[in-house]
Structure 1
């Protein structure tokens, strides 16, 4: 059962502290191991995508770029085009393609804005969001310009 407590701190500031009487769920070792494996597989997929990009003439500007608004897996440039790239690895290509939610798309857009502000030296004429999807059989597809501002 959740409840609220009003507490008073120095200078008369009041804060509401939320309490919860439910117990935290324990994470099993098997679940933790699956999470570590998924994380490692994701990093490997990003490395594969970076190799593919470099082979296609792209310059990888950033990998795993974190901002206060979110993270972008890869930022790459080819000529005057900068692409913000999300990498999705799932059992099937269809599952990977469907795993990019509208909420995540908005977060990626906001993260890209932060990166552009913090890197004013980047020269570009076109910005786009690409999605690389990979499956368990090492198949890969490059979906270009998949996110538009809403």
Structure 2
């Protein structure tokens, strides 16, 4: 998994509108990249809505946001439209970006072991250096966790 001090990986992703988002264009502002397991599921919705509800506070603190999951562009578009998120969601169906950040890991639920996205938030400075990794994301207070630097 990406650690504090690591550089923002180079990547291109497709957002909810089918447009390419290039990581090189995200340098220059503080950046929050949050990975979530699946669009439109209860916990992921709580997290994404918390970030959306607190977007003005995050923006005031100088942050830009980017959400990433392994969902299709269509699923991301539906999720984005349903809740009118003020930030982009990346569809990473082939897990290229997910693998670069190291969040595709073994998980356990109800005694069953499987591979999936571990809910993780990465914070980068203006130069694209990781300053913080939140690996115990609390969906209801995701924005507060980011702002408590």
Task: Give yes or no for TM over 0.5.
Answer: no
Flag the structure with more relative contact order, 1 or 2, with Cα contacts below 8 A and sequence separation at least 6.
2
Alignment TM-score, normalising by the size of structure 2: 0.29
Alignment TM-score, normalising by the size of structure 1: 0.28
- Greater C-alpha radius of gyration: 1
